[in-house]
Amino acid sequence: MVELGTGEYTYEVIEDWAKLPDGWSFKEAAAVGADANDNVYVFSRGEHPMMVFDREGNFLRSWGEGMFPRAHGITMGPGDTIFCTDDGDHTVRKCTLDGKVLLTLGISGKPAAFMSGSPFNRCTHVAIDPRNEDFYVSDGYGNARVHKYSPDGKHLFSWGESGTGPGQFNIAHNICTDREGWVYVADRENHRIQVFDPQGKFETQWIDMARPCGLFIDKSGDPSGQQRVYVGELGVAIGPNSQAYGLGPRVTIMDIKGNTLAKLGDGPEGEAPGQFIAPHGICIDSRGDIYVGEVSWTHTGSHLTPPREVRSLQKLVRKQ
């Protein structure tokens, strides 16, 4: 048994948790989400984009075949819905949990002009304000922007531009909200998380990070009622340093003020239990277990000789 973390943030690593049908693969798991029943949705870049499992890892169903050319982010929505963000298609789709499309934002296959500020050019993720169901889209690779929408998909306003200052972005890669509606943006290549009010006004930033990629806020709180922030950090971009310590890849657990509570992993890249390669999407279920999706094919597997699929999904079970 391999464990990560210490004290109340100790987790057992569950290898080969997801039981895929024979001959199926993830290729890589870009994002993960858990519904109210602790069923887990894995948004992958293989032939079956959305694969659904129960909390024991038993395969339930798949959907989205032919719909998503490049899975990037998923967000569980109100009323048993799920928002699917596809950066290769430049679209956000709101779907039912069995894959019926309810709303599409963006034009499939047609990006806005590069850095124009108009939605979307390689959008990355969605966050929902729990108070009123307004939602935000981080528009991250070909824009440096956050767009805010009403629950019915009406564009309200946008903010952000390319740069390194407050309110500027260098790949707005992920986005979350807390219970009070504050907006948290993983500003990946600026190695920080920025915090905004619901009107897009900069409040603060959390620094000393290693390319924050995945982002999830547990709005329900831990047993004490405190919200926790889970960050998948991609780690350094320079190959030799990927074998160092303290530079990621890792999963960091923080409080809502940005104080670090635990770092899981944080050693050299690898496929051994407890190591990470490229944490990209992260979520927790109702029991506090962590699911980590990694873009391991893009980051590592496609560059091997010969290329091969490497592990891209881990489950970490919180020790009670």
Domain coordinates of the chain in residue numbers?
Answer: 3-318
pLDDT score for 241: 74
pLDDT of residue 243: 75
Pick the CATH number of 3-318 from 2.120.10.30, 3.40.50.300, 3.40.50.620, 1.10.600.10: 2.120.10.30
With contact defined as beta carbons under 8 Å apart, do 240 and 268 qualify?
no
Mean pLDDT of the chain: 95
Residue 240 has pLDDT above 90, yes or no: no
Q: What is the model's pLDDT at position 164?
A: 98
- Round to whole Å and give the CA distance between 42 and 33: 7
User: Is the model's pLDDT at 110 over the cut of 80?
Assistant: yes
**Peptide bond connecting 151 to the previous residue in cis, omega within 30 degrees of 0:** no
E strand or H helix at 298, and its extent? helix 296-299
More confident residue, 176 or 220: 176
C-alpha dist (Å) from residue 125 to 88, 116, 308 = 12, 18, 27
284-305 mean pLDDT? 95
pTM over 0.85? The answer is yes
CA distance 258 to 205: 8
- Tens of pLDDT, residue by residue over 263-286, are 999 888 899 999 999 999 999 999
What is the per-residue pLDDT for 224?
74
Confidence at residue 256, expressed as pLDDT on a 0 to 100 scale = 95
User: Residue 12 in contact with residue 273, Cβ under 8 Å?
Assistant: no
3-class SS at 213? strand
